[in-house]
Amino acid sequence: MNQLKIKVCGLKYPKNQELITSLPIDYAGFIFYKKSQRYTLRISEKLPEHIQKVGVFVNAPQEDIISSIRKYKLDIIQLHGNENIPEIQVLREKLIEKNLHFTQLWKAINIKNESDLELAKLYDNYVDVLLLDAKGALPGGNGIRFDWNLLNNQDFTSPLMLSGGIKIDHTEEIEALAHNNKIWGVDINSGFEVNPGLKDWARVKRFVEDVKAISFSEVD
């Protein structure tokens, strides 16, 4: 049986980063987009080694991405802008050249309707994970959902991480998607905050416990 992966994104403050990563999550997300309220100034050096660090970038120069991987020891790069497939291929090649081939590439696609899901499919197999966020005024962290029922008629090869407006009372809907093998993981952010970038430990803890209690069989 499988468990859903959990990413907590927009972790801004080092002490809060340490508190949240003491929970059984899989990924910690740090935003390297200066216009974001959750822009990361520092990542704590005390995070557990098993937690994978995700750097979130929006149309950033590839040299800046590579520099951040080395400086912050990032495991994953999440591209959350208008990055196209040729740009992703070039970045992948650069990572190999720089001996950073172990770094995963995730691509976020903002979803409002089925045509946006068709766009997401263009990236299928070009990235390690597709993250489906809701389309809003900002690149991410809008606190809104897209219609998750749109996923019922879709099939992807790449693992899908569900994002956008997830709150503590959405566990049943998440469980249904997991049992139908529509999602691989969930990405939580603004729905679990006291202030932008500052996560509510108690709320995150309860959500993580509920989601990790979901088990499902993966269909070939």
Going residue by residue through the chain, which has 220 residues, state the pLDDT in tens, using 9 for 90 and above.
Answer: 899 999 999 999 999 999 999 999 999 999 999 999 999 999 999 999 999 999 999 999 999 999 999 999 999 999 999 999 999 999 999 999 999 999 999 999 999 999 999 999 999 999 999 999 998 666 655 678 999 999 998 889 999 999 999 999 999 999 999 999 899 999 999 999 999 999 999 999 999 999 999 988 876 5
Neighbouring residues of 55: CB distance < 8 A, sequence distance ≥ 6: 30, 32, 65, 68, 69, 72, 74, 76, 77, 78
What's the token pair of residue 186?
Answer: 């969930």
The class (CATH top level) of 5-212 is alpha beta
150 neighbors 117 (Cβ within 8 angstroms): yes
Query: Helix (H, G, I), strand (E, B), or coil: what is residue 124?
Result: coil
Strands (E), 9-167: 27-31, 52-57, 76-79, 104-111, 129-134, 160-163
Residue 192 identity (one-letter amino acid): F
Residue 170 corresponds to which tokens in the numbers above? 């959405």
| Measured distance CA(127)–CA(159) in Å, rounded | 9
pTM of the model: 0.95
Q: What is the pLDDT at residue 147?
A: 95
What was the pLDDT predicted at 124? 95
Where residue 52 falls (left for φ over 0; alpha for ψ -120 to 50; beta otherwise) is beta
CA atoms within 13 A on the CB side of 176: 7
- pLDDT value of residue 140: 57
Q: What is the pLDDT of residue 136?
A: 67
N-term to C-term CA, the chain: 13
Considering only CA atoms, which of 109, 107, 112 is closest in space to residue 54?
Answer: 107
Rounded Cα gap, residues 145 and 141, in angstroms = 11
Placement of tokens 């800046």 in the chain: 64
Cα–Cα dist 220/213, whole Å = 22
